Amino acid sequence: MSVSNDLYPNASAPLERKESGVPHVRKGLKVESYNDFDPLKHVIVGIADNQYIPEACPASNEKIPADSPMRGGKAGRRTQESIDQANECLNGFAKLLEGRGIIVDRPGAVDWNARVTTPDFSISSGFGVMPPRDCLLTMGKSILMAPMSFRSRYFEYLAFTDLLREYFESDQECLIEQAPRPRLSDDSFRMDYVAAYEFLSDEETMARSCRKEYSTRETDILFDAADVMRLGKDIFVQHGLTTNLAGIRWIKRKYEPQGYRVHTLSFKDNHPIHIDATFCPLRPGLMLLNPHRPLFDGQREIFEKNDWQIVEAAQPAWDTPPPLCYSSTWLSMNTLILDHKTVCVEATETAQMEQFDKLGFNVLPVNLRDAYAFGGGLHCATADVLREGTCEDYFA
Ligand code: ARG
């Protein structure tokens, strides 16, 4: 990764290692988490430094609305002003968590001011170090780096390697793992779909999505960690744009011998990418569902049979996402749960806060909207390191 040049005068230095030599050992550090709602004790919060808008790639094209300036043309470093504003939000969020006794770690700042090139592809730049939820999958005492489908995110794990080394050295039971690296060559994608995508109507993209035809093919093993919803012994994985069936088979083959049960979920969603603004566990027995993204037939059964209640999320406060944002307004339901009674919600999302209040939660408002464009909301912006509690069987 190179340093600043005329094109990107604001670019800063490449990734600096916190310290060289033997990784720091932190006494008492523990990695363990089995769900998104048990008492949170240690978490990673993303940073906005050096984030780039990469040129469109076959996987990202399908995600970005045709009329969005993010499609093609607009590649380059985000403005320093927007980076500073996003960092202000993320730092405020980290401070709030620390104020509640939660340990907060931040990733290293990679500068993506160089083409990302492998023998199979080349793209204008990397993406950033926000949101960590997409890259890191905490499964019990292990953290897995996911095989992501966006070319610009191919090397994103580099921002976390030093931190993960520390966890590995500090907790003798912790395992750091890497899923098989995908190739992401043109063969990994349906290039005809990618070429046609821009001209398809919403009805057509929805029809294709309902037929489970996405721009990704089955050539590589692909999944983003944010497509995986952990509920103790049961793991629910969204099949969609960022996770293919080979990815789900890999998750099954890896974790089922460890006692987990892996289920596939699909939603009626034009752009199914990451499950955490679509279907979110709130506490044992309670799920929040995006009212615009119903589950496929038959997929509610496992929840209903086990007396889980599925409630529809409140309407977002905003009609549109902020400028240069990849996500929809439904980041309103993308919250961070600190324990069975406490939830962090974006501060402008009044209806969502009220709904949580009625559901018996103590709501902590957090300003995060200015960081949305960097990859998502409060859940996306974090990755679990430690939650109290054990691996429960909620779906006997
Ligand atoms: N696909 C979601 C939406 O646009 C955004 C999910 C973002 N989640 C994440 N982990 N980055 O509604």
Is ipTM > 0.95 here? yes
Ligand 1 neighbours, Cβ below 6 Å, are 131, 133-134, 226, 273-274, 276-277, 327-328, 330, 375-376, 380
- Segment 131-144, tens digit of pLDDT: 999 999 999 999 99
Residue percentage of the chain with pLDDT more than 90: 76
DSSP, res 225: G
375 lies in a domain? yes
9 lies in a domain? no
- Other CB atoms within a 10 A radius of the CB of residue 15 amount to 17
164 lies in a domain? yes
* Cβ–Cβ under 8 Å, residues 382 and 44: yes
Q: Give the model's pLDDT for residue 20.
A: 64
Residue 120, φ and ψ in degrees, nearest 5: -100, -25
Q: Return the SS3 of 209.
A: helix
Known catalytic membership, residue 239: no
Output the CA 376–ligand 1 centroid distance in Å. Answer: 6
Range of the domain at 302: 40-387
- Nearest residue (CA) to ligand 1, atom 9: 380
23 lies in a domain? no
29 lies in a domain? no
In order along its 396 residues, the chain shows pLDDT tens digits of 333 334 443 444 445 666 666 778 999 999 999 999 999 999 999 999 999 988 878 877 776 655 555 655 578 899 999 999 999 999 999 999 999 999 999 998 787 778 889 999 999 889 999 999 999 999 999 999 999 999 999 999 999 999 999 999 999 999 999 999 999 999 999 988 777 777 778 888 899 999 999 989 999 999 999 999 999 999 999 999 999 999 999 999 999 999 999 999 999 998 899 999 999 999 999 999 999 999 999 999 999 999 999 999 999 999 999 988 889 999 999 999 999 999 999 999 999 999 999 999 999 999 999 999 999 999 999 999 999 999 999 998
394 lies in a domain? no
> For position 308, which CATH number holds?
3.75.10.10
Residues 162, 106: Cα–Cα separation, whole Å: 11
DSSP, res 357: H
31 lies in a domain? no
* Cβ–Cβ under 8 Å, residues 251 and 228: yes
Output the CA 146–ligand 1 centroid distance in Å. Answer: 16
184 lies in a domain? yes
How many structural domains are present in the chain? 1
